[in-house]
């Protein structure tokens, strides 16, 4: 069975690898002329590293991946610890697989290297799809046409496949923008930063940082509430000076990390309401194309990796009825991804509480370990076998 995957991001490539491992004839079509990811970090929790290890990627991940020791939430002004939860060896012992920090480009390169080069087609911008009784025809801007038994839209939050299936619909601006940057680790060595995920919580904003690329780089994300987004570009170069202005009065460590950056990129954070349907006939969606979410659970990529594994399993079990297999895939994934979407959105409010009674109550809950970040509370997420 031939499967065409539209989009060669982390979701598309991991799905392609899962499908190849299940014996399908897979081809990936990417609109860009080269595989690339703008500099940013990514977190891969055990529910996704279980899939990646199962695909034989443990050795390739060992070099670039960083295994953080803990998840550390801190107060914006004085750096006081609000909560510290173990990761590292304890999380691997509990769930069987590691928690990783990676540069997105490093993960993309690992995935791409595992797929035969002739199966990845660059410079292919989808212009339309036509469904027939037993196949799907995809048309591209370069004039090429492909035919497959199944087509998967892994083409992101602005998915053309989604628009073809269910009509065009704008994504929702969530009221947040994110400045992302990378700093060579030696520039901030004097700060003695631990190998942890550090999340600084403050009024109307938060700040996250962790090491990537074998601890050679420190990745940071500064998330700031904003009323509107008027830029036409999906990503723009940001100015570190704007970040410093937004974090005036914050702990010196936060400000020194930003000051060490040569440049930042600014992302507007969008999401979508959960879809009632992901699939129609022999066409389905995957990752941000069907469940775009805020990054406040660090689960966007992990859920896309899970999607690909579940999709491959459903198609392998339902080769005689591909359309039925896609409906089963959709039904297996919708409730879980919607739950992660909702929790990610709720964290926006929790992370950004203004100083006052609600903030003090949140901090007391964090100190008591009653906010849902214990291993037992996260077992539904991390133990999942996609």
Measured CA to CA, the distance from residue 358 to residue 107 in angstroms comes to 38
Side-chain-side CA neighbours of residue 107 (13 Å): 30
209's CB contacts (< 8 A; 6+ apart) are: 193, 198, 218, 219, 220, 221, 257
Measured CA to CA, the distance from residue 218 to residue 211 in angstroms comes to 4
CA distances from 99 to 208, 339, 351 (A): 16, 21, 22
- Residue 232: per-residue pLDDT: 47
Could you tell me if 153 and 7 are in contact, meaning their C-beta atoms sit under 8 angstroms apart?
Answer: yes
Query: For residue range 332-372, what is the model confidence (pLDDT) as tens digits?
Result: 999 999 999 999 999 999 999 999 999 999 999 888 765 55
Record the tokens describing residue 269, joined without a space: 């954070």
Question: Cα torsion for 174, 177, 182, 186, to the nearest 10°?
Answer: -110
Measured CA to CA, the distance from residue 183 to residue 232 in angstroms comes to 27
- Residue 372: per-residue pLDDT: 54
In a domain, 198, yes or no: no
In a domain, 354, yes or no: yes
DSSP-assigned states of every residue in 188-216: GGGG---SSEEEEEETTEEEEEEEETTTT
The structure tokens 């077992």 sit at 379
The burial class, CB within 10 Å (0-12 / 13-18 / 19+), for 173 is middle
In a domain, 221, yes or no: no
83's CB contacts (< 8 A; 6+ apart) are: 71, 72, 73, 366, 367, 369, 371, 373
In a domain, 125, yes or no: yes
In a domain, 64, yes or no: yes
CA angle 379/333/7 to nearest 5° reads: 115
Q: Report the CATH number at residue 285.
A: 3.50.50.60
CA distances from 231 to 235, 268, 286 (A): 9, 9, 27
352's CB contacts (< 8 A; 6+ apart) are: 201, 202, 203, 204, 205, 206, 225
Instruction: Examine the residue annotation and report whether 210 is marked as an active-site residue of this protein.
Output: yes
- Residue 229: per-residue pLDDT: 75
Measured CA to CA, the distance from residue 78 to residue 102 in angstroms comes to 28
Could you tell me if 159 and 270 are in contact, meaning their C-beta atoms sit under 8 angstroms apart?
Answer: no
Could you tell me if 208 and 223 are in contact, meaning their C-beta atoms sit under 8 angstroms apart?
Answer: yes
In a domain, 180, yes or no: no
> What sign does the dihedral 111-6-342-278 (CA atoms) show?
negative
- Residue 370: per-residue pLDDT: 55
- Residue 23: per-residue pLDDT: 97
Coil, helix or strand for 43?
Answer: strand
Query: For residue range 127-155, what is the model confidence (pLDDT) as tens digits?
Result: 999 998 899 999 999 999 999 999 999 99
Record the tokens describing residue 330, joined without a space: 């959709």
- Residue 308: per-residue pLDDT: 98
- Residue 329: per-residue pLDDT: 98
| pTM metric for this prediction | 0.94
Coil, helix or strand for 219?
Answer: strand
- Residue 145: per-residue pLDDT: 97
Question: 327: domain range?
Answer: 2-170+272-382
In a domain, 46, yes or no: yes
Record the tokens describing residue 254, joined without a space: 């936060």
Spans of the chain below 50 pLDDT: 232
Q: Looking at the 3D structure of the chain, how many domains does it have?
A: 1
The structure tokens 């035969």 sit at 116
In a domain, 219, yes or no: no
Which of 99, 179, 210, 329 is the catalytic position? 210
Measured CA to CA, the distance from residue 134 to residue 148 in angstroms comes to 9
> What sign does the dihedral 276-281-286-292 (CA atoms) show?
negative
């Amino acid at each position: 069975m031939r499967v065409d995957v539209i989009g060669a991001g982390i979701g598309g490539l991991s799905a392609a690898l899962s499908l190849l491992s299940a014996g399908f004839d897979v081809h990936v079509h990417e609109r860009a002329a080269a595989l690339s990811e703008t500099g940013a970090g990514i977190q891969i929790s055990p529910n996704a590293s279980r899939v990646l290890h199962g695909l034989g990627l443990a050795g390739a991940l060992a070099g670039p991946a960083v295994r953080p020791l803990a998840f550390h939430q801190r107060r914006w002004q004085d750096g006081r610890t609000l909560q510290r939860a173990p990761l590292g060896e304890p999380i691997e012992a509990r769930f069987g697989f590691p928690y990783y920090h990676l540069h997105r480009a490093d993960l993309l390169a690992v995935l791409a290297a595992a797929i035969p080069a002739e199966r990845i087609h660059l410079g292919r911008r989808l212009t339309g799809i036509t469904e027939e009784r037993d196949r799907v025809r995809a048309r591209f801007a370069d004039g090429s046409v492909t035919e497959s038994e199944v087509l998967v839209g892994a083409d992101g939050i602005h998915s053309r496949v989604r628009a073809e299936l269910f009509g065009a619909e704008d994504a929702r601006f969530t009221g947040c923008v994110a400045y992302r940057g990378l700093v060579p680790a030696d520039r901030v060595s004097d700060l003695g930063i631990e190998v942890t995920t550090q999340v600084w919580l403050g009024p109307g904003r938060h700040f996250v940082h962790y090491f990537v690329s074998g601890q050679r780089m420190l990745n940071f994300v500064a998330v700031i509430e904003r009323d509107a987004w008027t830029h036409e570009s999906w990503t723009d170069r940001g100015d570190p000076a704007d970040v410093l202005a937004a974090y005036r009065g914050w702990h010196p460590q936060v400000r020194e990390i930003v000051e060490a950056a040569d440049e930042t990129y600014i992302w507007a954070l969008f999401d979508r309401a959960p879809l009632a349907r992901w699939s129609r006939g022999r066409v389905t969606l995957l990752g941000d194309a069907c469940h775009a979410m805020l990054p406040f659970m660090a689960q966007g990529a992990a859920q896309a990796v899970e999607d690909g594994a579940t999709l491959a399993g459903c198609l392998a079990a339902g080769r005689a009825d591909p359309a039925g297999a896609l409906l089963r895939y959709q039904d297996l994934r919708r409730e879980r991804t919607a739950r992660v979407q909702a929790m990610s959105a709720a964290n926006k409010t929790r992370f950004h509480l203004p100083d006052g009674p609600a903030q003090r109550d949140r901090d007391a809950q964090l100190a008591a370990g009653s906010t849902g970040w214990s291993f037992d509370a996260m077992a539904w997420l991390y133990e999942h076998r996609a």
